[in-house]
Amino acid sequence: MTTNIKRPVIRYNNISLLKGGSPAFDVSSNSGDGVDFLSYINNLNFSFSVPENKEQVISSKSSLNHFFKPGVEVKLQLQKNEDFDDLFLEYFTPTGLVEDLNKDFNLYGIIADQVGRDSIHANLSGFDMISFGNCHLDSFSMSQTTNGLVNSDYSFTAYNMKAERVSGKDGDNFSFSGEAPSINLAGDQTNIINSFPLGYSFTGLNNKFQRSLTGSSVFPSYNTSISISGLNNVETFLIETDSIQGFDFKADVGSKEIYTIGKKYPIKRKALFPTEGSFSFTNKVSTFRVNRNEDYEDFSAERDLKKYLDNQAFYKITLQMTNITGKSVTLELPSGRLESQSYSAAIGSDVECNLDFSFDLFAMNNSI
């Protein structure tokens, strides 16, 4: 294959990501309005390995045969400035976590054919495409620090990937079609549907690519407030949470792959329960709660660690994020359990406290 002299290397601006609908092996999920443009992606990583079994026999110290395992998994990671849009809403509904964590979809990466050309372009003829089939969510995390943006990390396992050069449809800009990367995991584990390979058909992508370039919608910056209230009047131990510096929210989706004899890939992935999440934040320490006195009127706070732990404290953690356009997102984590609390003090720096909580993901209450 000859090198493309107009694009000898692929740059970040050459790539755009599109997400198909769920389920991945379905015509409507990979055509027309079933496709969404993923905005604000700032990092894309993918990798795969080719596992093999090495067999040995008596009388030889060498491996005589190499048997490839049936299915190859592609590990895919997306990092983005969170806008609480299509990808986020795939797993978090306006009221909580989605019930079906076994859903899958396809991801399509459009690659422009010239160095200075964005992939968001009217004429897609000659563009390259790399696509990932049957993407299942493995984990999700979200974080923010002072004066920073809300950043998210999505990790997936895919069961196939394809690379091809696409051809645009004559007289129809922003449109092209091809062969989808997904396979029928629950069926014959091929890409054949109705005697033909499952295809994708993208039309009217200009509507998907359009983003307003006015006001704050250029970038999804959010003002975040965090409140932590103890259930049964239980407060945090020793400190006031009045100077939070940053937070980390993590959700690992535990799942089990189910195989059957004669199949190359798992016929399905089954989410494992209970599903726990974690939430941690760092706080600059402004004061330590000490014994009761007239100057400090909070008589409900516990200062003795043994007595504090005997209370088996639970917390309600609420994150409220609002941008200047008025869009607001609230995540409520009820019945959070304090797992650890640590302090640090060093020359030239402020005293900081880090608190780690765990919670039930399916107990989340959202407002999006």
**What are the tens digits of pLDDT across the range 173-182?**
567 788 899 9
pLDDT band at 299 (very low <50, low <70, confident <90, very high): very low
Q: In the structure encoding, which two tokens stand for residue 244, read together?
A: 């939070």
> What rounded mean pLDDT belongs to the chain?
80
pLDDT tens-digit map of 216-256: 455 677 888 888 776 544 455 545 666 788 999 999 888 88
103 pLDDT above the threshold of 60: yes
- Residue 110 belongs to what H/E stretch? strand 105-111
pLDDT, average across residues 87-95: 85
Residue 102 has pLDDT above 50, yes or no: yes
Q: Dihedrals φ, ψ of 362, to 5°?
A: -80, 0
Q: What is the pLDDT of residues 340-356, one digit of tens each?
A: 888 898 898 888 888 89
Express as a percent the part of the chain with pLDDT over 90.
22
Q: Would you state the pLDDT for residue 279?
A: 93
Residue of 278 and 211 predicted with greater confidence: 278
* Cα–Cα distance list, 267 to 12, 39, 90, 139 (Å): 35, 32, 22, 21
Domain ranges within the chain, ordered by starting residue: 12-212, 223-367
Hey, do 12-212 and 223-367 end up sharing a CATH topology, with the first three levels equal?
A: yes
Provide the β-strand partners of residue 31.
Answer: 201
**Between residues 78 and 310, the one the model is more confident about:** 78
Which range has highest mean pLDDT (171-180, 181-190, 266-275)?
Answer: 181-190
Tens digit of pLDDT for each residue in 123-175? 677 788 899 999 999 999 999 998 888 999 999 999 999 998 876 654 455 67
Distance CA 106, CA 28 (A): 12
Share of the chain above pLDDT 70, in %: 77
For 223-367, give the CATH class. mainly beta
pLDDT score of 101 more than 60: yes
Q: Per-residue confidence at 214, pLDDT binned at 50, 70, 90?
A: very low
**Residue, of 287 and 221, whose pLDDT is higher:** 221
C-alpha 244/C-alpha 354 separation (Å) is 10
| CA 259/CA 272 separation, integer angstroms | 16
The pTM of the full predicted model, rounded to 2 decimals, is 0.85
Per-residue pLDDT, averaged over 323-349, amounts to: 86
pLDDT of the residue at 294 = 46
DSSP state of 34: G
Most confident of 95-104, 115-124, 242-251, 281-290: 242-251
pLDDT band at 311 (very low <50, low <70, confident <90, very high): low
Q: Are 246 and 145 in contact (CB under 8 A)?
A: yes
127 neighbors 112 (Cβ within 8 angstroms): yes
Please tell me which residue, 166 or 88, carries the higher pLDDT value: 88
Confidence of residue 76 (pLDDT cuts 50, 70, 90): very high
Which residue, 360, 340, 230, 335, is CA-closest to 282? 340
Looking at residue 229, its pLDDT comes to: 74
Predicted confidence (pLDDT) at residue 270 exceeds the cutoff of 80: yes
pLDDT digits (tens, 9 = 90+) for 10-48: 888 888 898 999 999 998 888 876 788 888 899 999 999
Can you name the CATH fold of 12-212?
Pnp Oxidase; Chain A (2.30.110)
What is the mean pLDDT of the segment spanning 296-311? 52
Task: Decide: helix, strand or coil at residue 52.
Answer: strand
